[in-house]
Amino acid sequence: MFSSDTLRRQREAWSADSRLRLQTIVWLRWIAVLGQLTAVLVVWLFLQFPMPVGYCLGFVALSAWVNVALSVKYPARHRFSVGTATALLAYDLLQLTVLLYLTGGLQNPFAMLLLAPVTVSAATLPAASTIMLGLIALAAAVLLIYFYWPLPWYYGMRYVMPLPYKIGVLAAVGAGIVFIAFYVWRLAREAELMSHALAATEQILAREQKLHALDGLAAAAAHELGTPLSTITLVTSELLRELKSTPHGEDLVLLRDQAARCREILQKLTRTPGEQDDWYARLTLRELVDEASQAYRCGPTVVTVEAGPDTLASGTGVLEPIVVRRPGLIYGLGNLIENAVDYAERGVAIDARWSQTTVSISIADDGPGFAPELIETLGEPYISTRRQNALKQQRSRAGGLGLGFFIAKTLLERSGAQISLENRQKPEHGAIVTVSWPRDSFERQDANATA
């Protein structure tokens, strides 16, 4: 017996909206109606095979009227509930089964169209609906082996295929249903996960951009605070001349000193707008790494940063590259560093190098490393970057969404970076993530932003 909670959840699942819109199912059914009508007329008029044309046209017309009724009752963008969509696809299966029954059963070459409703369900409906429709299609195929009207054929001849052949067709239909339904379901699932992951990435990037804007507003506000602080200092100095010997003299001295201290704190930010923007908007490679890793240096894990030109660099390649401050770039690097810190046993080493042609940042930890079977799939949404025992720890800390590396990879690739993953060579252990850019692409971002 099912509990009341189980029945309630089942009712909610069947009443939930599916991804199947009225416009989609109506167009698919019109295509089916046109195909069925064409097949009937060709066999009856062109080939002149005897067949129950009246019954066939009647069931084709029934589907056409169902389409008309749905179009009148619902708007084109209406989304059916899971239960209604499943019922409509089940009707399509039964209508096709009746047409096959009237025209030779499983001997009819159009029997393979039993796969169509199941395929649509796999792409748009939950797995339970697809399984149910698949079972209906298989049951219909089994019945069509034994129950059917003769296949339309030449006058005076009855075309009957042997039973082993019909069983072979049944096996083909069953295999097609399982393979195509699973393949389409898998593609739909991956597309859905990718869509959710990209939406999460956009939200995080929007948040980082807001923080970037707030930083700029804070700097501008600090610039504007210079005038009222100067006024406070001037007024307290004037009052101090008259009230220095009074009980309020000490308070006025404290107020003047604190105003002076505020001016010193804001001195770096109180520059001209051009200098302000240039100071805030541009970073050297070392400053970029320092800012991305700053939040992770206060914990028990030792984070070391080294930066310098590559040993083969010469000429202008020795000069440190400069990049525009981009929230997505800083967040992406910070996410990789956070992942390394989470799984490191003792420390994380960050090494930034540059030459005439490339700019690279490698992040190495001494943790468990990447699972070899997952390295090829890392970067896809909802795929964790570490081994199963580490995955359990991550889920306990962050809910196990598996989006961290995907978001970091997406944001960094938008800046033109390439990301490579590897494990340290034994006897050492740990993971190494290397982010690299062509130097001209890395510096072109700065040129485009400051032009």
Per residue in 149-193, pLDDT tens?
999 998 888 888 899 999 999 999 999 999 998 998 888 877 777
- Mean pLDDT score, 396-422: 70
In this prediction, residue 30 carries a pLDDT of 94
In a domain, 433, yes or no: yes
* 198 in Cβ contact with 410 (< 8 Å): yes
* 411 in Cβ contact with 331 (< 8 Å): yes
Same domain, residue pair 275 and 302: no
Q: What is the pLDDT of residues 224-253, one digit of tens each?
A: 666 677 778 778 887 877 777 777 778 888
Residue 432's H or E segment, with its range, is strand 431-438
Cα-Cα-Cα-Cα dihedral sign, residues 25, 28, 34, 40: negative
For residue 314, what is the domain's CATH number? 3.30.565.10
Same domain, residue pair 111 and 150: yes
In this prediction, residue 9 carries a pLDDT of 53
- Mean pLDDT score, 125-142: 93
* CA–CA separation, 415 and 160 (whole Å): 66
Strand partners, 447: none
Q: Give the DSSP per-residue string, 290-341.
A: HHHHGGGSSSSSEEEEEEEE-TT--GGGGSPPEEE--HHHHHHHHHHHHHHH
In a domain, 247, yes or no: yes
Q: What is the pLDDT of residues 339-397, one digit of tens each?
A: 888 888 888 999 999 988 889 999 999 888 887 777 776 766 655 555 444 444 443 33
- Mean pLDDT score, 426-434: 88
Same domain, residue pair 190 and 231: no
Give the pLDDT band (50/70/90) at residue 295.
confident
User: How many independent structural domains does the chain possess?
Assistant: 3
Same domain, residue pair 188 and 262: no
In this prediction, residue 400 carries a pLDDT of 39
In this prediction, residue 360 carries a pLDDT of 92
- Given 224, 257, 280, which residue is the final one in a domain? 280
* pLDDT exceeds 70 at position 13: no
Same domain, residue pair 222 and 364: no
- Given 168, 200, 232, which residue is the final one in a domain? 200
In a domain, 207, yes or no: no
Q: Any idea which of 20-24, 246-250, 334-338, 399-403 has the lowest mean pLDDT?
A: 399-403
In a domain, 175, yes or no: yes
Cα-Cα-Cα-Cα dihedral sign, residues 262, 264, 269, 273: positive
In a domain, 210, yes or no: no
Pick 271 or 122 by higher pLDDT: 122
* pLDDT exceeds 90 at position 198: no
Same domain, residue pair 184 and 232: no
In a domain, 49, yes or no: yes
* pLDDT exceeds 80 at position 86: yes
In this prediction, residue 247 carries a pLDDT of 77
Same domain, residue pair 266 and 300: no
Give the pLDDT band (50/70/90) at residue 104.
very high
In a domain, 341, yes or no: yes
**By residue range, what is the domain housing residue 123?**
12-200
Among candidate residues 64, 69, 67, 6, the one with its CA nearest the CA of residue 33: 64
Same domain, residue pair 101 and 156: yes
Same domain, residue pair 237 and 125: no
Same domain, residue pair 114 and 132: yes
Same domain, residue pair 301 and 421: yes
Same domain, residue pair 274 and 328: no
* 366 in Cβ contact with 378 (< 8 Å): no
Q: Specify which of 57-66, 309-318, 337-346 reaches the highest per-range mean pLDDT.
A: 57-66
In a domain, 237, yes or no: yes
Mean pLDDT of the chain, nearest integer: 80
- Given 200, 230, 258, which residue is the final one in a domain? 200
Pick 333 or 7 by higher pLDDT: 333
SS3 of 451, please? coil
The reply to whether the predicted model has a pTM over 0.85 is: no
